[in-house]
Amino acid sequence: MLTEVDTQLPDSAESAVAKLKAQFPDAVQSSKEFRGEQTIVIDPASNVELLTYCRDTLGFDFLVDVCSVDNAGQDPRFEVVYHLYSYTTLISLRVKAFLGEDEPTIGTVAGIWATADWHEREVYDMMGITFANHRDLRRILMWEGYPFYPLRKEFPLGGKPSEMPDVAFTGVAQLEGGPFVTAPGPGDTKTREPRSRDQDRG
C-alpha cells in the first residue's frame, strides 16, 4: 500500500521538475532538458528548503556530488551544482545556483545529506565558495592559510610560488609538462605519460 509520501514521488525527471516549480514558484528560476537530463536553476537563498523537499518528498535520497563552475568574466560568476539521484525512482536531477563574485556564499546541505560535508569542503578549498552553517568548513586538499583557490580561472596552470617549504614545495608547482600530466600525442598511455620520459617503467 502506498503512503501519502509515496504517491508524491515523481515518475520521471520531468515530473520532478514540474513538482518543484509548483511547490517553489519563486525559487525555481529556469529549467532545461539536454540529452534526456533535467537541470533546474534556483535562487541560492532557497537551496536548503528546496533540496530538503527533494529528499523528503521527491525521494532524492542520494547526493551524488556537489561541484562548482567558474564563469570568469560573467555576472554572476560562480555556479554551485548539485547532482541528485533517487534509489527509489531511479531518477536523476541536476540543481544549479548562481553566486556573485564578491563573497560567494550559499547554505550548507550537509544536514540533508551527510556526504555533502566533504563535497562542500572541496568546493570551498578549490573555488573559494563558502557554505553557511557548515560545521567544519576548512580546507581539505590545500593547507590552512593557503591564499589561493586552484580551480579559479585566474590560477595559472604552472601553479604559484609557495613560502611554506616545510609543508609543500618552495618553487612553482609545475603542471604543464610536469610529472603528473599526460602529454598529448601518438602512442599508448604509457608512451604519452611524461614520467616515462625520465623513468624506465619496463
User: What pLDDT does 185 receive?
Assistant: 61
Residue 155 buriedness (CB in 10 A; 0-12 / 13-18 / 19+)? middle
Residue 1: inside a domain = no
Say if residue 76 is preceded by a cis peptide, omega within 30 of 0. yes
Q: Which of 15, 45, 14, 43 minimizes the C-alpha distance to 30?
A: 43
Are 160 and 130 in the same domain? no
Q: Is residue 92 domain-resident?
A: yes
Mean local confidence (pLDDT), 10-28: 97
Which stretch of 2-6, 141-145, 151-155 has the lowest confidence by average pLDDT?
A: 2-6
Q: Using pLDDT thresholds of 50, 70 and 90, give the confidence band for residue 143.
A: confident
State the residue range of the domain holding 179.
156-202
pLDDT reported for residue 159 = 72
Does residue 110 share a domain with residue 11?
yes
Say which CATH number the domain at 117 has. Answer: 3.30.460.80
pTM assigned to the model? 0.78
Residue 150: predicted pLDDT: 92
Mean of the per-residue pLDDT values of the chain = 85
Give yes or no: residues 88 and 162 share one domain: no
Tally of domains within the chain: 2
Mean pLDDT of 92-116: 97
Q: Are residues 77 and 58 in the same domain?
A: yes
Amino acid code (one letter) for 91: I
Q: Which of 150, 167, 183 is the last residue of a domain?
A: 150
Note whether 138 and 163 are same-domain residues: no
Strand partners, 57: none
Quick check: 38 and 13 in contact, CB under 8 A? yes
99 with 190, same domain?
no
Q: Are residues 201 and 177 both part of a single domain?
A: yes
What pLDDT was estimated at residue 128? 97
8-state DSSP, 183 = P
Do residues 128 and 150 touch, judged by C-beta distance below 8 A? no
Mean pLDDT of 131-135: 97
Q: Higher confidence at residue 145 or residue 49?
A: 49
- Each residue of 35-87: pLDDT tens digit? 999 999 999 999 999 999 999 999 999 999 999 999 999 999 999 999 999 99
Residue 98 forms part of a structural domain: yes
CA distances from 64 to 108, 115, 125 (A): 15, 8, 19
Instruction: Tell me the backbone φ, ψ of residue 2, rounded to 5 degrees.
Output: -75, 140
Is the pLDDT at 169 greater than 70, yes or no? no
